[in-house]
A = this chain, B = another copy of it.
Amino acid sequence: MAKSQSPEGYDPRDWPPFAVTVDLVVLTVRDSALSALVVRRGEPPFEGCAALPGGFVREAESLDRAASRELAEETGLARLPVHLEQLATYGAVDRDPRMRVISVAYLALAPDLPSPRAGGDAAAAAWTPVAALLPALFPGSPAAAADATLAFDHAKILADGVERARAKLEYSPLAAAFCPPQFTVGELRRVYEAVWGVTLDPRNFHRKVTGTQGFLIPVGDTTARQGGRPAQLFRLGDVTLLNPPMLRPA
């Protein structure tokens, strides 16, 4: 930004125009499986492939606003109780064969929504288990289905998003973004297990998570959503950083 050839201001010839889009990695936990929102492409290139939802940034909106607008459009829900943060930007010259596109990817974490999308958009978005899209991230999972190939560089973007989510669960209370407002320790544990792709000792997990100051606030009620002994309900506390962190097993 400091090196224009015309020091008095910007000459349009100085800067080649780029198309700027936002792509969304929207994750949730459904049936104990980490799942991502994908659309089905109906036209070339990559016709028939799965793709991440996204769209062009408008002239008068910030990147953050473009991301939340696209998220609302794709899910059909206006006020979404989700976490949304910028992930990274992808700008390889040939990432879109038609033209030069810079894509700013965002990561969204959502609780298991009753219906993936109720709105009336052309390409219906659907939840797909990440293990089917990127088997390499979940060792031991079956090979990817043929129709689970992601278009463009979206496999890389999704992988980066999953890795970001995995890392954030360690030192932030973000796992609760996958849960309803009130949840049990067991539900929270299943989130960690689904995102990390591991199994955790329920007893150590319980002791650790309830012992971390400010993470979980008991609501005082109990529930028996899973069968077995009813569990205490909690809501998320106000910490932004977990201390000590929840470390992934080595």
Contacts and interface: CB of A to CB of B under 8 A. Distances in A.
A7 B43 contact: yes
Contact of A55 (B1, B16, B42, B43): B1
A8 to B, nearest CB: 7
Interface stretch (A94-102, A129-137, A212-220, A223-231): A94-102
A62 B96 CA distance: 12
A98 B99 CA distance: 26
Contacts of A3: 54-56, 70, 73, 121-123
A1 B15 contact: no
Contact of A53 (B2, B16, B51, B70): B2
Contacts of A104: 89, 91, 102
Contact of A86 (B70, B88, B93, B102): B88
Contact of A92 (B62, B96, B123): B62
Identical copies in the complex: 2
Contacts of A64: 91
A240 interface: no
A25 B6 CA distance: 24
A80 to B, nearest CB: 18
A56 B73 CA distance: 32
B23 A1 contact: yes
A91 B243 contact: no
Given A23-B1, A250-B243, A98 B10 contact: yes
Interface of A: 1-4, 7-10, 14-21, 23, 39, 41-43, 51-64, 70, 73, 86, 88-93, 96, 98-104, 121-123, 152, 243, 250
| The 10 residue pairs across chains A and B that have the minimum distance between CB atoms | A17-B17, A63-B91, A16-B59, A15-B19, A3-B55, A89-B89, A18-B20, A1-B54, A15-B56, A1-B21
12 contacts: A1-B101, A2-B51, A3-B56, A3-B70, A14-B56, A16-B57, A17-B17, A18-B18, A18-B57, A18-B102, A62-B92, A102-B102
